[in-house]
Amino acid sequence: MGKEKGFSLSPIKTSDMRRFLERRGYDVQPGHHKHLKLKHATYGEVLLPLKPGGNLSQLAVKQIAGAMGLTPDELVKQAR
């Protein structure tokens, strides 16, 4: 059997995560080509892919959760 390639995907769409982050006080920073950079006064910076219809990878969810001080499961529950 061949090896799997790529990352497993989360149930959260990029557009839904962007709306969630903007409601939590994140602002989009200009000037990034393949990703949106969102910045918050208290939490860490977050990068989102520019494909709004695609689902986020589990790795992206884990990084965003870490920036917000949440577990990935808590983030998915709150973002839905």
Domains and CATH numbers, the chain: 10-79 (3.30.920.30)
Give 7's contacts (C-beta < 8 A, 6+ positions apart). 57, 58, 59
Does residue 6 have a pLDDT over 70?
Answer: no
Residue 80 has pLDDT above 90, yes or no: no
Q: How many C-alpha atoms does 4 have within 13 Å on its Cβ side?
A: 4
Residue 33: per-residue pLDDT: 75
Confidence of residue 7 (pLDDT cuts 50, 70, 90): low
Tens digit of each residue's pLDDT (9 = 90 or more) over 8-52: 899 999 999 999 999 999 999 987 778 899 999 999 999 998 888
Asked if 45 and 32 touch (Cβ cutoff 8 Å), the reply is no
